[in-house]
């Protein structure tokens, strides 16, 4: 199982998903009215490390974070 | 790295950093102090922080600074910070001025682009995500690309 958490202004609870890759997460987000816009501008971290390759394979127990556009300071 | 669930006490934080570094024989100490401006009728700004990735981001900067013989410091508020109060302080301390002047620019700009912090305007007690002022992080959008 993969835990997916939505950070900052994405006001959704984290979900447990039975997925094997970021491609599957991409398909899920693109098909969701609440998430498709966030997919366009959010970065992705797996176990708190930013991932930039959509072909990244997920392992059971991985934690995926969706990070929307930032503005500190 | 220091996080506070209140506006930053600028005097206390900067003088603590200054004292900590005072026996290093370093010639340059530069601070950047971010203060909430009154703008568009806001009462305050409010911040969410994702600490695990912020900590890693800061550690990477500590290593970059160390390679150049310098030290970086950072403090940020979590939650509401009213106008004319400080929410963000960073500092660079180095043996000579040139490194500190260059690093403070790079450090603050990269902070704005890649630190996992989300900003909200507080208007009539409600938090509104500052979407137009926010920057997509490195790697943003990979989940929207067509995969093959």
Q: If you average pLDDT over residues B4-12, what whole number do you get?
A: 98
* pLDDT tens, residue by residue, A33-71: 999 999 999 999 999 999 999 999 999 999 999 999 999
Say if residue B114's pLDDT is above 60: yes
Q: Check CB contact under 8 Å for B141 and A39.
A: yes
Say if residue B147's pLDDT is above 90: no
Domain residue limits, chain A: 2-67
Please give the class, per CATH, of domain A2-67: alpha beta
Q: If you average pLDDT over residues A30-34, what whole number do you get?
A: 93
Q: For position B69, what pLDDT does the model report? A: 96
- Residue-range domains of chain B with CATH: 2-130 (3.90.1170.40)
Q: Which of residues 3-62 of A touch B (CB under 8 A)?
A: 7-9, 22-23, 25-26, 29-30, 36, 39-45, 48-55
The pLDDT confidence band at residue B145, using thresholds 50, 70 and 90, is confident
Cβ of residue B146 closer than 8 Å to a chain A Cβ: no
Residue of B nearest to A50 (CA): B139
What is the pTM assigned to this prediction?
Answer: 0.93
Q: If you average pLDDT over residues B6-24, what whole number do you get?
A: 97
The residues pairing with B121 across neighbouring beta strands, listed in sequence order, are B45, B128
Q: For position A35, what pLDDT does the model report? A: 95
Q: Which of residues 9-28 of B touch A (CB under 8 A)?
A: none
The pLDDT confidence band at residue B148, using thresholds 50, 70 and 90, is very low
Reported in sequence order, the residue ranges of chain B that DSSP labels E, i.e. its strands, are 2-4, 28-35, 44-49, 71-77, 79-82, 86-94, 117-123, 126-129
């Amino acid at each position: 199982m993969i835990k997916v958490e939505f950070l900052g202004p994405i006001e959704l609870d984290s979900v447990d998903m039975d997925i094997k890759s970021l491609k599957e997460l991409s398909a899920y987000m693109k098909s969701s009215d609440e998430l498709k816009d966030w997919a366009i501008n959010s970065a992705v971290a797996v176990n708190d490390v930013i991932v930039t390759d959509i072909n990244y394979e997920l392992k059971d127990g991985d934690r995926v974070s969706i990070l929307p556009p930032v503005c500190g300071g | 790295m220091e996080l506070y669930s209140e506006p930053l006490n600028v005097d206390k934080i900067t003088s603590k950093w200054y004292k900590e570094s005072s026996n290093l024989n370093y010639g340059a100490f530069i601070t950047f102090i971010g203060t909430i401006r009154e703008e568009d009728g806001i009462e305050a700004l409010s911040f969410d922080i994702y600490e695990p990735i912020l900590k890693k981001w800061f550690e990477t900067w500590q290593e970059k600074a160390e390679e150049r013989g310098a030290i970086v410091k950072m403090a940020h508020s979590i939650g509401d910070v009213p106008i004319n109060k400080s929410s963000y302080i960073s500092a660079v301390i180095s043996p000579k001025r040139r490194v500190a002047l260059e690093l403070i620019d790079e450090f603050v700009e990269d902070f704005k682009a890649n630190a996992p912090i989300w900003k909200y305007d507080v208007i009539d007690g409600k938090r509104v995500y500052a979407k137009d002022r926010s920057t997509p992080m490195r790697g943003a959008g990979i989940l929207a690309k067509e995969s093959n």
